Amino acid sequence: MAAFDIEISEVGPRDGLQSIQTIMPLEAKKAWIKAEFEAGVPEIEVGSFVPAKLLPQMADTAALVDYARTLEGLTIAALVPNFRGAQNAIDAGAHKISIPLSVSETHSLKNVNRTHDQMIEEVTKIAAYIQSLPKEKQPFFEGSLSTAFGCTIEGPIATQKVTEIAERLMKAGVNEVGLSDTTGYATPNHLVTLIKAVKSAVGEENLTGLHLHNTRGVGLANVVVALENGITTFDASLGGLGGCPFAPGASGNIVTEDLVYMLDSMGLKTGIDLEKLCAVRDIVQKALPQEELYGFLPHAGLPKGYPKGYQTTSS
């Protein structure tokens, strides 16, 4: 896959589907993943390796990883809650695994039933296991700083707590950390403060990715600010599906289609064909007819003359 200015990671098949009651058929998930890949999306989080009894929507994640490996050039990402989940993801063939460590310990106990110390132990075991594998089988390992901007249970999260957990994750052996606005609390000013603080704590090169929600309508504004502060990878969900089932009211990932359009209009290359991307909504809507899909671009359509000549220029 060619290098682009900004990398989009589609998280709908994981974050989007874990938040709804309906179980999307495996074949529909495969069609979704293939269509997004063909639209140029370079990375897709296909699911999470959690017990099916907890999230039956994710029961077929291993099968999805196996299928996605037939799509040459696609980076296959998966979320893992613990060492066992990481083993299963690696055995399945995921290229990238992310473990969520909630900065809010209350949320951590609700989400993965573990304290901060217990999660760091899991991360350390996973990192050691990865290092024991042949280089070609070692996935990229990200430590996700969940609820970094605030928690629906605990409320505001201190910046010092975020940087402390970030440092512990790097010491435990992750390749990099990512900031996650699990609950939709992030605002532009707060985002700048947190990005600068975490980069100062762990190094510029160890924070490149951001997971945002649009719960309160400032998702894309946060993206612009993040771009100005060196973030180059963004998670997004087709149709804005998503949210954490263990964080009440935290609905609404940023919409992949709207994000790509905004980046395109700013002259930033993503490698994604917007028309093909918008067409993927038909696959998802057909499989989930009762779910509402969000997004301004899909409803308004592309501007006349897109992609060239539609922006207003001074004479």
Q: Is 244 among the catalytic positions?
A: yes
Sign of the dihedral through C-alpha 205, 207, 210, 211: positive
Name every residue whose Cβ is closer than 8 Å to that of residue 155 and which is 6 or more positions away in sequence. Answer: none
Candidate list 33, 68, 165, 244, residue with the active-site label: 244
Do the beta carbons of residue 30 and residue 46 sit within 8 Å?
no
Residues 240/233, Cβ–Cβ less than 8 Å: no
Supply the residues annotated as catalytic. Answer: 244
